């Protein structure tokens, strides 16, 4: 039997430890969908003023004031939506985890939310859902913004949501620009963000 020196034994132990740490890092890093940390909480909300140089369009004439509401997030925090549109334009996404059309559109919404960052606040309002199913949906589609459940569908009714999805756009200052039953694809959302909300 071949003998190994203490130095060789230590080297082999180091290799095994490094391999273990590498595997652990792959699991913890979220290399695939579902690996993200729990979402929908305070970390996903804007903090502070929008980035310097951000401009917002004036609301189109005759636009009504957006209905205000409170929304409880999965971490227990309650969001007063009126505070969100004091400083930023807001996109409200009315969804349900079981809605196949919501699922098909969510990747593009998630990508846009990341792209626009702190200039625009995205908020998900789920209905006819459970906290567990909503959290699974947020992880599956890597949703980077806060979301909560409207348990009585009161918020859905205020925004005329009969079934998901519906995307509503609110200007900075709280004017409801428009709502789109059936949701929108990414290019249509981008056009409204750039022209109607940001004035670019």
Starting at the earlier edge strand, list the strands of the sheet with 147-149. Answer: 147-149, 120-126, 89-95, 166-170, 176-181
pLDDT of residue 36: 45
pLDDT of residue 47: 79
Q: Is the pTM of this model over 0.85?
A: no
In a domain, 108, yes or no: yes
pLDDT of residue 16: 43
Domain range spanning residue 178? Answer: 42-197
Q: Looking at the 3D structure of the chain, how many domains does it have?
A: 2
If pLDDT is split at 50, 70 and 90, which confidence band does 14 have? very low
Q: Which two tokens stand for residue 34?
A: 């579902």
Instruction: Identify whether residues 113 and 138 lie together within a single domain.
Output: yes
In a domain, 37, yes or no: no
Instruction: Identify whether residues 72 and 24 lie together within a single domain.
Output: no
* 13 vs 171: which has the higher pLDDT: 171
Q: Is residue 23 predicted with pLDDT exceeding 90?
A: no
Instruction: Identify whether residues 70 and 144 lie together within a single domain.
Output: yes
Average pLDDT for the chain: 83
* 178 vs 171: which has the higher pLDDT: 171
If pLDDT is split at 50, 70 and 90, which confidence band does 39 have? low
**178, 27, 171: which is closest to 90 by C-alpha?**
171
Q: What is the mean pLDDT of residues 29-58?
A: 68
CATH number at residue 75: 3.40.30.10
Q: How long is the chain?
A: 200
């Amino acid at each position: 039997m071949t003998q190994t020196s203490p130095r060789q034994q230590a080297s082999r132990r180091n290799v095994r430890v490094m391999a273990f740490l590498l595997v652990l890092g792959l699991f913890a890093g979220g290399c695939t969908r579902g690996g993200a940390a729990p979402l929908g909480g305070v970390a996903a909300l804007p903090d502070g003023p929008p980035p310097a140089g951000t401009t917002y369009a004036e609301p189109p004439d005759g636009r009504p004031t957006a209905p205000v509401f409170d929304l409880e997030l999965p971490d227990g925090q309650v969001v007063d939506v009126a505070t969100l549109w004091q400083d930023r334009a807001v996109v409200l996404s009315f969804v349900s985890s079981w809605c196949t059309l919501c699922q098909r559109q969510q990747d593009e919404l998630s990508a846009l939310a990341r792209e626009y960052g702190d200039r625009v606040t995205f908020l998900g309002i789920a209905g006819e859902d459970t906290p567990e199913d909503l959290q699974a949906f947020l992880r599956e589609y890597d949703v980077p913004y806060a979301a909560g459940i409207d348990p009585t569908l009161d918020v859905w009714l205020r925004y005329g949501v009969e079934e998901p999805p519906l995307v509503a756009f609110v200007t900075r200052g709280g004017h409801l620009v428009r709502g789109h039953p059936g949701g929108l694809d990414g290019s249509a959302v981008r056009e409204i963000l750039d022209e109607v909300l940001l004035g670019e």
